Amino acid sequence: MSAPVTIIMIEDDEGHAKLIERNIRRSGVNNEIKPFTTGTEAVNYLFGADGNGLPHKGESLLILLDLNLPDMTGIDILRRMKENRILKCAPVVVLTTTDDSQEIKRCYDLGCSVYITKPVNYDSFANAIRQLGLFFSIIQVPQATP
Amino acid sequence: MRGPSLFRPEHDAIRVPPTGSSRTALGQLILLTAGLVVLTLISAISIYFVNKARHDARWVLHSMKVENEISLTQLQMQRAETAQRSFLLTQHPEFRAAFEEAAGQILPGFERLEKLTIDNSYQRQRLQQIVPLNNQRIERLRRGIDLALTNQLDEAVENARREAGRDEMRHIRDLGNEMRAEESRLLAARTASADASQSFSALITAIGSGLIVLFAGLSIYLVRRSSRERDLANAQLRDINLNLESTVEKRTSDLREANDEIQRFAYIVSHDLRSPLVNIMGFTSELEDLRGNIFRRIAELSRPDGLPPPAMDDSARVAKPTLEGPDEQLSQDFTEALGFIKSSIAKMDRLIGAILSLTREGRREFHPSAIATRDLIESIVSTVAHQAAEANAQIRVEPLPDIVSDRIAIEQIFSNLIDNALKYLKSDGPGDIAIRGQRKLGFVIFEITDNGRGIDPKDHQRIFDLFRRAGPQDRPGQGIGLAHVRALVRRLGGTISVSSELNKGTTFTVTLPAAWMGTNRDEQT
């Protein structure tokens, strides 16, 4: 693995973002985490000015995606990523409050790698995120190449 | 949010077509009655005139008979005289016989005349004059014959000659002619009268027929007009019906939209409420950790300087720093506050979860299927058998009518109700729960009866409201079950009611359509 994996965290709630980051760090993951609080910012970063995702060619990205964003739904971002030939192999972890079975099915249909519901109970939440961090530390993330 | 406005005057203004038809109907009735009256009148008048004509004809005939009789009698008189003269001339006995024969016929003729003219004083008067004159004359003629027979021929001829010059003879003739003239006058009058009644009858018939034709024409006109009006009214009615249907459809879709909106709203709200809750919970937990750190630091700092710092490898002492007096109190207050926050968050999470599951239930599509109710309830009972045994309760399932409805909904309704019955039994004595059912007028009525703690009548309405509970709050629960049950029963087109008394037990009565066709919201896409 040439380049270290960058974790892109798309999460509108800064409190959640903080809690997620903290718990990922506690699990021993030290990769760079880039937080985005709006869908537009995240899309601009991911797909670049041309909207083709070329800036990230050769990088290894892992996406943490919330579905309920103020300016767009995470599902749109997921769909666009899976349609992009550069970004389509980056693993996407959907991390959201929705536990509706329809939503879950839709996300897997679109090609998300993992779907996690944020538990309200903090112990469960922290536990889930730490396990996710452990998961991150063992999975292989491909380089974004066409 | 586009709210459904339930009252739209432009749809409510359903105009009733003008009621001119009743006036037309009255007109027709009057026409028909008038036609009938005219017809009856014509018939009566016709019958009257036919009778009158017959009567007149009889009288015409009568006059002719009288006239005929007069002529006959006069003829006989003529014959008698002729025969007498002939006898005087020839003395042949056959002329005498002819005379007697003619003379014999005169009297009966007068008698017949008398009978015929019994009602006519004028004729009778003439007749009374003519009969004696005639008798005298016949007598004289007979005497002439007698004289001839006794060879006094000359005297007889002389008598006859004298006889010819007498006024009496003329008088008889005149009387006869007068009678004939009178009878002719009567005949003319009677014929005229008969003609008059016949032509009058014809006139009346013609006028009556004309009137009937007129009435018929009017009637046809009225019928056509009213049928045109009826067609118009029918068309209007069709329009109104269509309008009504579309109005109903529109309002139904408005209501559906509003309902969907509420469902979406509840879903989104509960969903969005969860997000901050995660933060509150998360940072509260973080605070708890911080609290641990802070109080450990305080404990370390407040340690007397003389004592050595705790060894770093002694994890038990690090984890359990000892606090003194007011510090201990502070730590406990801190823990208590955090505890309240956490328990409140947990409760709020449960409530939000309940709303979420309710709205999810509301969005679920119902599909009717045939359900063997008793089997379904037996299986529910078997899943709660353990709880029932713990509560020392028996559940009796009586024979139940089958039903066509949504299986999952029915399952949820009964398991909630049975669950409630088990949950709120009295602590003393064995529990008894019975499930009964009967079919009535296309509906099935189920009763779930227990001998539990009962519900105060003032709470009977409240218990069906969301998050509301009644009685001592010693059992876990959110106050959702019955609200959920009522929503399900309503969606299935049924009703639920409760009758209960404190400490006497409770009966929930669920009425559901025996065959629910799923007309609820399945048509929405």
In chain B, where the domains are located: 21-225, 260-359, 366-513
Domains of chain A by residue range? 6-138
Question: Which stretch of A19-28, B200-209, B359-368, B436-445 has the lowest confidence by average pLDDT?
Answer: B359-368
Smallest Cα distance from B431 to chain A, Å: 37
Give the relative orientation of helices A122-138 and A14-26 as an angle to the nearest 10 degrees: 60
Phi, psi values for residue B474, rounded to 5°: -110, 10
Is residue B236 very low, low, confident or very high in pLDDT (cuts 50, 70, 90)? very high
Whether the Cβ atoms of residue B6 and residue B251 lie closer than 8 Å to each other = yes
ipTM value greater than 0.85: no
CB pairs under 8 A between A and B: 52
Higher-confidence residue of B346 and B13: namely B346
B403-406 and B368-371 beta bridge pairing: antiparallel
Two tokens at B137? 């004359």
| Average pLDDT for B206-214 | 87
Does A101 lie at the interface with B, CB-CB under 8 angstroms?
no
CA distance A118 to chain B (A): 8
Residue B446 confidence (pLDDT):
93
Residues in CB range of A135: below 8 A, 6 or more apart = A114
- Which band of pLDDT confidence, cut at 50, 70 and 90, is reported for residue B20? low
Which stretches of chain B sit within 8 Å of chain A by CB? 271-272, 274-279, 281-286, 345-346, 349, 360
pLDDT at B14 over 50: no
At B21 the pLDDT is: 56
Contacts of residue A15 in chain B, CB cutoff 8 Å? Answer: 276, 278-279, 282-283
Closest residue of chain B to A22, computed from CA coordinates: B286
pLDDT of residue B525: 33
Are B282 and A15 within 8 A, CB to CB? yes
Compute the distance between CA of residue A79 and CA of residue A88 in angstroms, rounded to an integer: 9
Regarding predicted confidence, which is higher, A142 or B189? B189
A59-87 tens-digit pLDDT: 888 899 998 888 888 899 999 999 988 88
> Which residue from B293, B288, B324, B258 is spatially nearest to B5, judged by alpha carbons?
B258
Q: What is the DSSP string of B145-180?
A: HHHHHTT-HHHHHHHHHHHHH-HHHHHHHHHHHHHH
| Chain B nearest-CA residue for A121 | B281
HSE-CB at B199 with a 13 A cutoff on CA atoms is 5
Over range B226-237, report the average pLDDT. Answer: 92
Residue A123 near chain B (CB below 8 Å): yes
Mean pLDDT of B18-22: 56
**A16 close contact with B: CB closer than 8 A:** yes
Q: Do B349 and A120 touch (CB under 8 A)?
A: yes
Task: At B209, list the tokens.
Answer: 């027929």
> Which of A98, A122, A125 lies closest to B271 in CB terms?
A98
Locate the chain B residue with the closest alpha carbon to A13: B275
A102 in contact with B, Cβ within 8 Å: no
pLDDT at A107: 92
- Residues of A within 8 A of B359 (CB-CB) are none
Q: Are B396 and B377 in contact (CB under 8 A)?
A: no
Under CATH, what is the fold of the domain A6-138? Rossmann fold (3.40.50)
Of B402, B401, B409, nearest to B367 by C-alpha is: B409
Cβ(B447)–Cβ(B509) below 8 Å: yes
CA proximity to B183, closest of B61, B360, B73, B98:
B61
Averaged pLDDT, B7-34: 62
**For B365-385, what is the mean pLDDT?**
89
Q: Does the beta carbon of A37 lie under 8 angstroms from any beta carbon of chain B?
A: no
- One-letter-per-residue 3-state SS of B439-466: EECCEEEEEEEECCCCCCHHHCCHHHCC
What distance in Å separates the CA atoms of residue B3 and residue B422, rounded to the nearest whole number? 42
Contact B401, B437 (CB under 8 A): yes
What is the third-level CATH fold of B366-513?
Heat Shock Protein 90 (3.30.565)
pTM for the model stands at 0.49
